[in-house]
Amino acid sequence: MKRVHKDGSAQITEKKSRFIGDVYNIENEEDALYYINETKKKYWDARHHCYAYIIGNNNEIKRFSDDGEPSGKPILDVLDKSGIANCLIIVTRYFGGTLLGTGGLIRAYSEAAKSGIEASGIMEVKKGIQAQIDADYNSFGKIQYMCMERNIIITDTEYGENVHINMIIEESEYAHFQKAVADAFAGRLEIVKNDNV
């Protein structure tokens, strides 16, 4: 599933009208309503606050609002095409005095939405397994190298009599890594699964 990396904001100008694209990670409709209300307070003097959001891995919830402009649906289209879930895009417009026409408005709102997504960054969210290995100090360097080679994230390392290594392994790679560790250390080291993440 794709998600935005962080909340972000970008601005474009079209014929003196200013369009601000704010993008938020959301988990539910309450989050969406909160950010919509906060944005309306922040840009209280703006003419329009159009938005769209998608919630759920399979796009269970999709909503948009035109706020009097032909623009909510184009924002939703940008979100749909990006494949991003659990995301809200609000585009705020400050009117610059020149009418843009329907086509011009659709382009400007779409561009502001895309710019907001670019400012937020996109990440791929995958299922993972939180696990641990207890290794002696001689084995620690090899474990680190094996993790780096396979893009396994070491989240914490505790040094005591042995080295206690906490890690997150992509679910699809877990069995392969388990076998690689067993082979590399002739069964002396064992990966202990803690939780799904």
The whole-angstrom separation of Cα 69 and Cα 110 is 12
Gyration radius (Cα) of the chain, Å: 23
- Stretches where the chain sits below pLDDT 70 are 59, 70-72, 197
pLDDT at 197: 65
- CA nearest 9: which of 117, 86, 81, 96? 117
**Which strand (E) or helix (H) includes residue 31?**
helix 29-42
pLDDT at 70: 67
DSSP run (H or E) holding 58: none
Cβ atoms within 10 Å, residue 19: 28
Give the tens place of pLDDT for each residue, 161-182.
Answer: 999 999 999 888 888 998 899 8
Task: Please report the pLDDT score of residue 68 as a whole number.
Answer: 72
Cβ neighbours for 186, distance < 8 A, ≥ 6 positions apart = none
Give the tens place of pLDDT for each residue, 107-131.
Answer: 889 999 999 998 988 887 778 889 9
**β partners of residue 157:** 165
